[in-house]
Amino acid sequence: MIGNFPYLVVGILFVMGFVGIIFEKNLVKIAIAVSIVEAATNLFIITLGYRNGGSIPVWTMAGGGSSRMVLPTPQALTLTAIVIGLATTALMLSFVMIIYRHYGSLDVRDVRRLRG
| Strand runs labelled E in 2-115 | none
Encoded amino acid at 85, one letter? G
- Return d(Cα 9, Cα 93) in angstroms, integer: 26
- Return d(Cα 3, Cα 97) in angstroms, integer: 42
- Return d(Cα 40, Cα 7) in angstroms, integer: 10
Binding status of residue 92 toward another protein by CB under 8 A: yes
**Binding to another protein (CB under 8 A): which residues in 17-76?**
21, 27, 30, 34, 37-38, 41, 44-45, 48, 71, 73-74
Instruction: Find out whether 83 and 38 touch, Cβ atoms under 8 Å.
Output: no
Name the minimum Å distance from CB 85 to another protein: 9
Closer to another protein by CB, 56 or 84: give it: 84
Residues of this chain that interact with another protein (CB under 8 A) are 14, 21, 27, 30, 34, 37-38, 41, 44-45, 48, 71, 73-74, 77, 80-81, 84, 87-88, 91-92, 95-96, 98-99, 102-103, 111-114, 116
